[in-house]
């Protein structure tokens, strides 16, 4: 009896070990990495890198690279972000999945937009449109990528102070995000778009509409539990209150935003929060706190500019490599054409030479026959 119990206990333990040893599905781990992109990008990067070590499937590796790129954008490390997204783009050329190819191109366009390489971003978006046109209209991914494409275009126009055009693009983006099912997969993106809509209305001096847009941004950020996105939206709300000269209310929101984004390492977000805090303390006549936050603002600004400079240098190097590669491909192409022309020319000359010799030979023969006839 004791022996039987021991055997049963052993089997039970083995079963437990086997159950615990089962691997967590790829999609579950990647989803976790995606959820942590904005609030804890370092965790997101660590999770994605652990997946990258053992994953061989091209489409899955591309998804991992996109997560790594996006998480580094969240940290404003554009150099690392660019390297990962270019790896994803290179792999996408080997994929037969239109959805993957489209998603990668949109992500590359986002990268260029973040680096303020707007012409490159538009060029990439136009390339992505060719793939988008081939996707079925009722496809989940088509709505997502169309919405992202219009959002990027809107951000570029907003950066160029074309708020009216930017608003048109953002509103089309929102319409496409609303078609996405399940809707929660679009909440983070909708928060970002409404945040940008808020600033467009601020630039157009439509304060009430700006406030409404920032409130929408907060709502969608909270639905997705995205603290950094909520912090961005609160910063926008604070600017509305600052314009209304309600500096205490603005500072209350900014302090909350500062607390929300303490783990994000987002240089642009921190820079913006510190600038707004400095402005509000200055308006309230608090010189000491104004000096403190103004100093923090310039420190963040310097770090961001250093990161951007590094990434732009990397982008220039990659552009030069692409140009050199295309140049080499053209040289090879024209060399082959030249060789074909030479070969074809040689064949034609050889054939002509053959017929010339044949005609000459026949002429000699006819001349000989004529001479013989004359003699006879």
Q: Where are the beta strands (DSSP E) in 253-339?
A: none
DSSP string, 128-160: HHHHHTTS-TT-HHHHHHHHHHHHHHHHHHHHT
- Pick the closest to residue 222 from 213, 209, 231 (CA basis): 231
- Segment 347-374 mean pLDDT: 75
Q: Give pLDDT tens digits for 235-267.
A: 999 999 999 999 999 999 999 998 888 777 678
Of the pLDDT bands very low, low, confident and very high (cuts 50, 70, 90), residue 157 is very high
Among 11-15, 233-237, 255-259, 293-297, name the one with the lowest average pLDDT: 11-15
What was the pLDDT predicted at 180? Answer: 86
Asked whether the predicted pLDDT for residue 370 surpasses 80, the reply is: no
N-term to C-term CA, the chain: 132
CB within 8 A of 224, min separation 6: which ones?
184, 187, 188, 191
- Average pLDDT score over the chain: 82
**Model's pTM, two decimal places?**
0.70
- Segment 88-103 mean pLDDT: 86
Q: Give pLDDT tens digits for 181-194.
A: 878 888 989 999 99
Side-chain half-sphere exposure of 264, counting CA atoms within 13 A: 27
Asked whether the predicted pLDDT for residue 16 surpasses 90, the reply is: no
What was the pLDDT predicted at 7? Answer: 40
Q: Give pLDDT tens digits for 303-332.
A: 777 766 665 555 555 556 666 666 666 677
Q: Give dist(CA 328, CA 278) in Å, integer.
A: 53
């Amino acid at each position: 009896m004791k022996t039987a119990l021991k055997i049963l206990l052993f089997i039970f333990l083995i079963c437990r070990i086997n159950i615990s040893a089962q691997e967590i599905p790829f999609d579950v781990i990647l989803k976790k990495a995606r959820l942590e992109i904005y609030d804890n990008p370092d965790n997101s990067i660590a999770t994605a890198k652990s997946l990258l070590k053992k994953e061989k499937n091209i489409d899955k590796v591309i998804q991992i690279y996109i997560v790594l790129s996006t998480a580094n954008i969240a940290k404003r490390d554009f150099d690392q972000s660019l390297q990962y997204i270019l790896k994803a783009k290179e792999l996408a050329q080997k994929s037969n999945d239109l959805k993957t190819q489209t998603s990668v191109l949109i992500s590359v366009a986002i990268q260029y937009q973040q680096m303020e390489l707007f012409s490159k971003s538009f060029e990439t978006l136009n390339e992505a449109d060719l793939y988008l046109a081939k996707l079925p209209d009722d496809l989940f991914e088509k709505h997502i990528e169309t919405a992202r494409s219009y959002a990027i275009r809107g951000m570029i126009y907003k950066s160029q102070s074309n708020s009216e055009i930017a608003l048109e693009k953002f509103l089309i983006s929102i319409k496409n995000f609303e078609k996405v099912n399940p809707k929660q997969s679009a909440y983070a993106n909708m928060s970002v778009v409404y945040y940008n809509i808020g600033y467009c209305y601020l630039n157009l001096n439509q304060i009430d509409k700006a406030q409404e847009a920032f409130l929408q941004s907060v709502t969608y950020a909270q639905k997705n539990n995205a603290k950094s996105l909520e912090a961005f939206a609160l910063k926008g709300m604070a600017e509305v209150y600052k314009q209304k000269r309600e500096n205490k209310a603005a500072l209350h929101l900014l302090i909350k935003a500062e607390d929300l984004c303490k783990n994000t390492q987002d240089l642009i977000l921190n820079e913006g929060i510190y600038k707004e805090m400095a402005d509000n303390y200055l308006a309230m006549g608090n010189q000491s706190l104004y000096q403190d936050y103004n100093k923090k603002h310039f420190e963040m600004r310097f770090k961001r500019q250093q990161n951007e400079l590094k990434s732009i240098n990397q982008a220039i190097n990659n552009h030069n490599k692409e140009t050199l590669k295309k140049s080499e491909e053209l040289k090879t192409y024209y060399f082959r054409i030249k060789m074909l022309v030479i070969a074809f020319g040689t064949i034609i000359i050889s054939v002509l030479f053959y017929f010339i010799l044949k005609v000459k030979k026949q002429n000699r023969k006819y001349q000989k026959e004529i001479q013989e006839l004359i003699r006879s």
